[in-house]
Amino acid sequence: MPADQPTVLVVEDEAAQREVLRYNLEAEGFRVAAAGNGEEALMMMDEEAPDVVVLDWMLPNLSGIEVCRQIKTRPGTRGVPVIMLSARSEEVDRVRGLETGADDYVVKPYSLRELMARVRAQLRRARPAAAGLRLEYEDIILDAETHRVTRDGQELKLGPTEFRLLSTFMEKPGRVWSREQLLDRVWGRDIYVDTRTVDVHIGRLRKALGVHGGGDPLRTVRGAGYALG
């Protein structure tokens, strides 16, 4: 799977329903991680934050509401969109789910087609480059659909790794990414790459961004990593 393929975490205790969601999400082009309970989901998110969480309310031990609350209070995951699934259709339940931090609330039984559309909608907000949208930062424009990058109107030639790096930075300007986080996002967790490789590709990206002049938009944060702006 491509390293920058968007990841959806499905948290559902019913195995059959979990597999139905996995099958349909993978058919839509998503990378899917799955958890059968809230504790497992939170542990998985500590290791790697997904791009979207599809979370069932009725989970054993730790409820979906509590899982959502913890996701939204942890600094590393509070920005991850959560779609709550529930058989509770009353307004008071929908309000409770949304006030706990859920970004969307879907009542069971639901249309799989509609749920896939809601996942894509949340992805457009959380990771616009992965959704094929156009990103802009100062004089840099990245078009994820056509895979083109321009700076001050002049086209830049970027390799695939540098393109994914720039996409990651432009999705969240100002955020400091550690080398390990960049390895996970750009290369993928299943591939062993030395962290120094990140420095090499950052150097190539800096060179490509400055080929027509202009200042270096990338910032090195000593002991922490890199950021755009």
pLDDT at 14: 94
CATH 3.20.20.330 is right for the domain spanning 7-126: no
Which parts of the chain register pLDDT below 50? 1-2
pLDDT at 186: 85
Relative orientation angle of helices 38-47 and 64-73, to the nearest 10 degrees:
20
Alpha carbon distances (Å) from 169 to 54, 136, 220, 227: 25, 11, 12, 7
All structural domains of the chain with their residue ranges = 7-126, 134-228
CATH class of 134-228: mainly alpha
**Domain 7-126 matches domain 134-228 at the CATH topology level:** no
pLDDT at 190: 63
pLDDT at 118: 95
pLDDT at 189: 65
pLDDT at 3: 52
pLDDT at 171: 87
pLDDT at 1: 41
